[in-house]
Amino acid sequence: MEKITYASLGSLGEEFHSQFDAALSKLTRTFGKTHSLLIDGKLEKGKETFGDISPSDTRVVLGNFPLATVDDVMKAIAAAKRAYPPWRDLDWQKRVALLRRAADLMMQRQFELAAILTLEVGKNRFEAIAEVSEAIDLILYYAQQMENNDGYNIPLVTTGAEQTRSVLKPFGVWAVVSPFNFPLALATGMAAGALLSGNTVVFKPASDTPWSGVGLATVMHDAGLPAGVFNLVTGSGAVVGETLLTNGDLDGFVFTGSREVGLKVLRDFSARSPKPRITEMGGKNPTIVMPSASLEDAAEGIVRSAFGMGGQKCSACSRLYAHADIYDALAEMMVPKTKKLKIGDPRERDTFLGPLINERAVKTFNSAVQLGRTEGRVLCGGNVLQDGARAHGYFVEPTIIDALPQDSRMFQEEFFVPLLSMAKVHSLDEAIRLANDVEYGLTSGIFTNDETEHAQFFNEIEAGVTYCNRRGGATTGAWPGVQSFGGWKASGSSGKSALGPYYVSQFMREQSQTIVYKR
């Protein structure tokens, strides 16, 4: 079957569904299996394991995964250090070829990888297959960047007998630490950036998504990456994450996840000497709707963006500033659309919204809704769902809240649950001022058909990823090579975005080379 993209999602037919269902059945037969670490090219059982619990039904153990110890992490780092010199010295074209082979394998395994995402994260099948396609495209796009930049080795100005070049070179061994929400695509993108540019990798997946991590490690191993170039250590943040952060033996750290952990990485990783850290953190992403907008497009784009994957995207829209002239009409369109979303078992083909990732997320949902009820008014949703087949999972209703005071925490804090707070504004100036009045700056959207408002929005909004009139997702749905994806302010540290043309070069340091030839 052809590679699936966001554009082709709407036209997926029976062949897609039957292959996806077959992959689900195959994986169901493996439930409870014990998986391994990948260290120095070898699969290693852990001394202890932890259960990967299905968020759709907490009675189901999807698999058991090693709880890596400090010793395991140190072994993985040592293996990555040994593997580094030959990997660095390999022609970059050969590294590109190996990573392209990994992309081919992902393509061959796309249904199995997507089914893991549905079972482990609770993504609906369309979101799951799209994530696998994104992971493939991340490798291909970053590989293309190596080619476009001739391996980042370019001549500088030659004067007389002096010949000079600028060469970007890898740093060494990188920790790659990925979040639960895009466990395959984000891990693949970060690892591919590091590997293509000649670094080796020790990879820790989020504790909630070790299976997706094993899926990626297996692809890298089977693609023929030399032993030690890509190592997998599953386990806890307290042991694995902390050891990666503080052992002092790594050369770079790339992280996507919460602001709290991202700031810790920025603070602790280079406490002893300067070292590169790339951190992509959260967002509190606003959408603005002005009177000239198509309200149907706005309602659709906002609902998709706020509630797709249960608001558990860094890019999810969680604040809406709608002009007073269209505020009520927009709310009247959004509420029925939200109520119609099918919430339930993500394995079913017509489910839109699966479960939240874990119990902590449900607690966050409950306390944020409680705050919303106290300070404002719940327009729809607000409940945890525990009926019938949803009795044993983390299912909640997508929720819209309005009539909040302007300084409510609901407009400031990232909750990472399906919760949208809306407020009335009277001008674009006011909307942009409120949109910018947060610590985060990841994604932002606007709906307006007035071109001067497009220009003002793009000029004044403080966010790394911006969209105008996007029915497919007001603030979500970036794609490699199409939309760069990176945060400003507290949402990101490097000012260079993933999915974009400047990403790979961040994993390298510049050397200027001058040769003087005798005349």
**Catalytic positions, written as ranges:** 280, 314
Q: DSSP string spanning 320-356?
A: EEEETTTHHHHHHHHHHHHHHS-BS-TTSTT-SB---
315 binds ligand SIN (CB under 6 A): yes
Annotate 287-306 with b (16+ C-beta within 10 A) or e (fewer).
bbbbbebebebbbbbbbbbb
Return the number of the residue (251 or 280) whose C-beta is nearest ligand SIN. 280
Using CB atoms within 10 A of its CB, is residue 454 exposed (0-12), middle (13-18) or buried (19+)?
middle
DSSP string, 361-424: HHHHHHHHHHHHHHHSEEEE---EE-SGGGTTS-EE--EEEES--TT-GGGTS---SSEEEEEE
Which residue of 369, 478, 490, 508 would you call a contact of ligand SIN, by CB under 6 A?
Answer: 478
Q: Where are the beta strands (DSSP E) in 156-211?
A: 162-170, 173-177, 200-204
The residue (of 364 and 408) whose beta carbon lies closer to ligand SIN is 364
Binding segment for ligand SIN among 24-32, 72-80, 167-175, 477-485 (CB under 6 A)?
477-485
Nearer Cβ to ligand SIN (6/50): 6
Give the bridge partners for 280, in sequence order: 256, 492
Tell whether residue 318 is a contact of ligand SIN (CB under 6 A).
Answer: no
Q: Supply the minimum distance, in Å, between the C-beta of residue 280 and ligand SIN.
A: 8
The nearer residue to ligand SIN, 107 or 306, going by C-beta atoms, is 306
Find the shortest distance in angstroms from Cβ 202 to ligand SIN. Answer: 22
Minimum separation from the CB atom of position 479 to ligand SIN (A): 8
Query: Does 55 contact ligand SIN by CB under 6 A?
Result: no
Task: Tell me the window of 42-50, 145-153, 239-247, 311-319 that interacts with ligand SIN (CB under 6 A).
Answer: 311-319
| Residue 7 or 238 having the CB closest to ligand SIN | 7
Q: Return the residue of 355, 445, 477, 486 that touches ligand SIN, per CB under 6 A.
A: 477
Smallest gap from residue 419 Cβ to ligand SIN (A): 16
- Contact with ligand SIN (CB under 6 A): which of 314, 371, 435, 463? 314
In the block, tokens 């607000």 appear at 382
Q: Report H helices in 29-155.
A: 70-89, 92-108, 110-121, 125-148
Closest CA to 422 of 499, 277, 319, 291: 319
Interface residue with ligand SIN among 36, 181, 285, 338 (CB under 6 A) is 181
> Does the protein bind ligand SIN through residue 49 (CB under 6 A)?
no
Distance CA 382, CA 361 (A): 14
Position among 118, 279, 351, 476 found at the interface with ligand SIN (CB under 6 A): 476
Strand partners, 440: 489
CA dihedral 118, 119, 121, 124 (to 10 degrees): 20
Q: Which residues contact 176 (CB under 8 A, 6 or more apart)?
A: 187, 190, 191, 194, 201, 202, 203, 204, 254
Residue with Cβ nearer ligand SIN (112 or 134):
134
- Interface residue with ligand SIN among 182, 307, 395, 447 (CB under 6 A) is 182
In the complex with ligand SIN, the residue whose CB is nearer, 84 or 485, is: 485
What are the residues binding ligand SIN (CB under 6 A)?
181-182, 313-315, 476-478, 485
